[in-house]
Amino acid sequence: MTNENNIPDEGEVILIDKPLTWTSFDVANKLKRACKFKKIGHAGTLDPLATGLLILCTGKKTKQIDTYQAQEKEYTGTFILGKTTPSVDLETEFDAEYPTEHITPKTLENARLQLSGSIEQVPPIYSAVRVDGERLYKKARRGEVAEIKKRNVEVYLFEIDSQNFPSIDFRIICSKGTYIRSMVRDFGQLAGSGAYLSALCRTRIGAFELKNAWNLTEFIYQKRIALQLEV
């Protein structure tokens, strides 16, 4: 691929702090239009209600996307015990309430330990996993039931802070393919209750950290100035 001066497009790696409610595709599409990128892709989807680090690659750098996707991830966030939603976050309405009075610090610790190390998990029904060639979330929105295969993932670190119980703050470091919403769902079940994710932020992918990421609007503004485009 070349630019208008016939110079090869070596591409670049862009770190963006994904805005709340935006999909990862929304961010890539916005950058492509606003910054005139001919080729762009993201390395690891974030749910619309999650914020944090999104790696995007342009030009020849898109060949490195798989490498970035394979690296370990770090997340911080909050889940609430006692209620559930079909999506395990606030994308959908509450569908059930559960008791929390029986939950003790030992209950929480046992659940945390069972979700640490090498574990099996089932992706959420509201996810981008393909079943029979179609994204699961599309089937879920039609009310269809699909058979979802378990997957093996690694949870290298799982820290919880329950001082605001039933609200639980957490920090997780995990392998590629780990669904935080699945961990929240399973934690609620292991605690003899239910749970939903109220906030999630991806803080690191491999050696790339959120603190070094651009605000989307600021990146576009600076890029357009550098390209001498109309701002």
- As a whole number of angstroms, the distance between CA 110 and CA 102 comes to 14
Backbone angles phi, psi at 34, to 5 degrees: -70, -35
> Element (H or E) spanning 72, and its range?
none
Contact 203, 197 (CB under 8 A): no
Query: Which of the 8 DSSP states describes residue 2?
Result: B
What DSSP string describes 6-55?
A: S-B----EEEEEEPTT--HHHHHHHHHHHHT-SSEEESS---TT-EEEEE
Q: Which of 206, 150, 132, 198 is nearest to 174 (CA)?
A: 206
Active site residue 47: yes
Which one from 17, 47, 89, 186 is the annotated catalytic residue?
47
Catalytic annotation, residues: 47
